[in-house]
Amino acid sequence: MHIGRTYGELKELWARSRSEMQARYESRETSFVPNLLPEDAVEMSLAEFLEIIRGRFGRAVDTALEPEATDPALPVGDLPPELQGPLIGTATTPDWLTRANLGAVNVRTVRSFFNVAKYALTLPAYQNVIHLLPIWEPGVVGSLYGISSFQINAEFIDSEAAEAFPHLESSERQLRATLNLLRVMGFAVGMDVIPHTDRFSEVVLANPGYFEWLRREDLRIVDHRAELHEEVQGRIAAFVREYGPAAPAGGSPANPQGGRTGSQSSRSKKPPDWTRELHPEELFSEGVDEARRRRILFGLPEDKHARDVRRGQLVQYLHRYGYEPVPATMAPPYRGLEVDPGELHENHAGNEWRDYRITRPQSMSRVFGPLARFKLYERARDNRNWEIDFSRPRTEVWDYVCRRYAEMQRRFGFEFMRGDMSHVQMRPEGVPHHVDRHYDLLKAVRNWIREENDAPYFGYFAEGFLAPRNVMGYGDEVDHLEASDADTTLGDLQAVPVESAEFVQRLRWYRDIADCRWTVPSLTIMTGDKDDPRFDEFYRSGSELRLFLALFMTDMPSYMALGFETRDVHHAPAPNEHYTKLFVFQEKSGPKATTGPYRFGRNGNLFYHVSRIRLFASRVLPEIQGAPIRWLVPPDATAGRRFFAWTQQNNPRWVFVANADTTEEVWNFNIPAGFVGPAFQPPGAPRSDEMGEAQDGRSLQLELAFTTAGELSPEERAVLRSNGRTFKIEHLGAGEGRAYRIVSGSVGA
């Protein structure tokens, strides 16, 4: 199959061969549409997209878009089997996630939910797990990770889909329809679970008791008592008395979901009384449903603009009295805040606000001014010294968060969660000997969903960077991830150049973790929330090898964000519109500002190599996907050697060789033959007297089938023969990955 090498050739080739490539996909000759650039997939009309997937999946596509099937109130388990995805009814544990190849999509970069499904046309069957970055209404600076409410973000509505299918008028229905289509296409989909919200979110203001508060006078924190939220509730009630309810509290709720605050049991089934008006003093009393309280405070759920205006007024009102939620922090020592006397800011409501800093910071200590973390534990000594009492979990807060995300999973059927900031471990003594259900919030959400939603397949992909001890969390991060029941973790391979010693050393360390521990690190290629100019140097070389390793190290998960396939080589920072990280925010001024849509790269050469690897993997992975590997030449923990080789632990069929040094070739090296194939014996086993002769009189050979360096000439397809102990490779190019097929041949052939 011809593949273009430059961006111009790719565009021209797609125009010429579109019908042929679509036919190959529709006939199932390929599992993705070859030569289709991600940007062309996203720009495809809805009619064109539906025509393609109808050609492959038939009537199931129309079933996925029907009014009943797109109603989030209908449990995914009640949908027709073709809309339930690859896991429901087949997977009984989340182990599938430890071998999955994940793709990540920031929906803002493709602009709508339906465009995610269009992008999926470019992903092969073995990259059939998609992580959606946060999809809820954002707050300050529009950050996707600063949730304002648990309503689905209306900016992701596809106007073309709403016009073609009038029942798809809401973001909730469009999300459900998109997920239906993705599951018809064979994809599993994951959601973000976030242990914090926007600092002045509807969630915070409707549930002050679920967060920590402070009172500030200019540059001084004058109060941060444990129960300060009770004063805040009084001020919010006073605001309602002064300004009136945003919407009538009587009548039935427009969106009757959510929990309760205060001391009322989070599992109470008593329905709220929507038939009477509330006095402001009753807002936070027992029996008042959160949905009703949000209506009074902010207005009707469907009127986002009015809710935002009202929320800004309430924030400004609280600011007048000095009340602010305590901002979220990262890394030891976590606790102990003071006002940063630096720049004075102005927030979305027009009032002034200050940054904060940790009083005794360590190397990675950070304060996230726009975010507030859920208050999961009581405070020691009335929070006099910013101490957390981990022996006293605030169970109503845990249940609230678990119930919220469980409801999301139940309505949309997500097969796994990506846990944001999974590396946070605040206990100075590290992981306790006894780990209970209130050890970690992400653990609690994962297990609540598995148990309460009858979803045993539901997995947990952790945002953990595997930093050294006591750097990003207290204690050892792997200990923490295991205690949190994380199935896999992101790791940090994407943050080092392939040619560096660090890359090989981290890869070896991650392999050791995968062999010895419960949580399996990912071979991460690129992430959607870290693709910014700081990472440019990591993608100037070695990108092809990253994908080669990710796909053929079959017993590790991998993670690749949209945009990697055509990411340009930047020797100087490009405009912000070229980086997916800058679309996590929605800023219009300053260093993170964007002024237009996301711009896909035009790296035709990278797309050429990505396409070659994908097409080759489509032939090979059905035989070996998920198979445990056996090292022939393991990654060198000292990084003195940058090449390595591996095969399959059981029934080896392929040998893979890689040179992580993108600047130097490797000449004349050997890989052991004793571990390749059943005809050879391990070192130390009895051998025939004649070197190279196996016990059955035949010898195994290695036939070069693929190289990341480009198309193979007939001469390069030469067979490697064993001398009975090793196979000799005379030359391996800089940054090259190779695949050898194990074949049989007569001795002396």
Using alpha carbons, list the distances in angstroms from residue 289 to 158, 256, 273, 629. Answer: 32, 8, 9, 53
Q: How many helices (H) and strands (E) does the chain have?
A: 18, 32
Q: Please report which helix (H) or strand (E) contains residue 549, including its range.
A: helix 543-552
Q: What is the pLDDT of residue 7?
A: 94
pLDDT tens digits along 261-320: 333 333 444 555 544 567 778 899 988 899 999 999 999 999 999 999 999 999 999 999
CA–CA dist 115, 113 (Å, integer): 5
pLDDT tens digits along 130-150: 999 999 999 877 999 999 999
Q: What is the pLDDT of residue 88?
A: 87
Q: What is the pLDDT of residue 723?
A: 86
Residue found by looking up tokens 């996707």 in the block: 144
What are the sequence ranges of the domains in the chain? 7-195+392-624, 209-259+270-326+338-357, 629-746
Would you say 528 and 109 are in contact if contact means Cβ atoms under 8 Å apart? yes
Q: What is the pLDDT of residue 562?
A: 98
Q: What is the pLDDT of residue 261?
A: 36
pLDDT value at 505 more than 70: yes
Q: What is the pLDDT of residue 275?
A: 46
pLDDT value at 192 more than 60: yes
User: Where residue 682 falls among pLDDT bands split at 50, 70, 90?
Assistant: very low
User: Where residue 464 falls among pLDDT bands split at 50, 70, 90?
Assistant: very high
pLDDT tens digits along 596-615: 999 999 999 999 999 999 99
pLDDT value at 688 more than 50: no
Q: For 694-725, b where at least 16 C-beta lie within 10 A, e where not — what string?
A: beeeebbbbebbbbbbeeeeeeeeeebbbebe
Q: What is the pLDDT of residue 713?
A: 74
pLDDT tens digits along 470-484: 999 999 999 999 999
User: What fold does the segment set 629-746 form as a domain?
Assistant: Immunoglobulin-like (2.60.40)
Q: What is the pLDDT of residue 747?
A: 41
Average pLDDT, the chain: 91
CA–CA dist 113, 22 (Å, integer): 22
pLDDT value at 703 more than 60: yes
Tell me how many degrees the CA angle 447-127-556 measures, rounded to the nearest 5: 65
User: Where residue 348 falls among pLDDT bands split at 50, 70, 90?
Assistant: low
User: Where residue 260 falls among pLDDT bands split at 50, 70, 90?
Assistant: very low
Mean pLDDT, range 687-709, rounded to an integer? 64
CA–CA dist 414, 408 (Å, integer): 8
Mean pLDDT, range 348-376, rounded to an integer? 90
What the block records as the tokens of 563 is 């945009």
Mean pLDDT, range 223-248, rounded to an integer? 96
Q: What is the pLDDT of residue 265?
A: 38
User: Where residue 351 falls among pLDDT bands split at 50, 70, 90?
Assistant: low
* Three-class DSSP labels, 14-58: HHHHHHHHHHHHHCCCCCCCCCCCHHHHHHCCHHHHHHHHHHHHC
pLDDT value at 627 more than 90: yes
Q: What percent of the chain has pLDDT over 70?
A: 91
Where is pLDDT greater, at 345 or 695?
345
Measured from the Cβ of residue 456, the count of other Cβ atoms closer than 10 Å reads 12
User: Where residue 343 falls among pLDDT bands split at 50, 70, 90?
Assistant: confident
Q: What is the pLDDT of residue 279?
A: 78
Q: What is the pLDDT of residue 250?
A: 57
Task: Respond yes or no on whether the N-terminal peptide bond of residue 333 is cis (omega within 30° of 0).
Answer: yes
pLDDT value at 257 more than 50: no
Mean pLDDT, range 622-634, rounded to an integer? 95
Q: What is the pLDDT of residue 349?
A: 56
CA–CA dist 283, 239 (Å, integer): 11
Task: Respond yes or no on whether the N-terminal peptide bond of residue 468 is cis (omega within 30° of 0).
Answer: no
Q: What is the pLDDT of residue 368?
A: 95
Measured from the Cβ of residue 25, the count of other Cβ atoms closer than 10 Å reads 20
Q: What is the pLDDT of residue 3?
A: 84
Q: What is the pLDDT of residue 353?
A: 82
Answer CATH for 7-195+392-624 from 3.40.190.10, 3.40.50.1220, 3.20.20.80, 3.30.300.130 = 3.20.20.80
Measured from the Cβ of residue 392, the count of other Cβ atoms closer than 10 Å reads 12
pLDDT value at 749 more than 60: no
Would you say 105 and 130 are in contact if contact means Cβ atoms under 8 Å apart? yes
Mean pLDDT, range 220-245, rounded to an integer? 96
User: Where residue 698 falls among pLDDT bands split at 50, 70, 90?
Assistant: very low
Rg (CA), the chain: 28
Mean pLDDT, range 227-255, rounded to an integer? 84
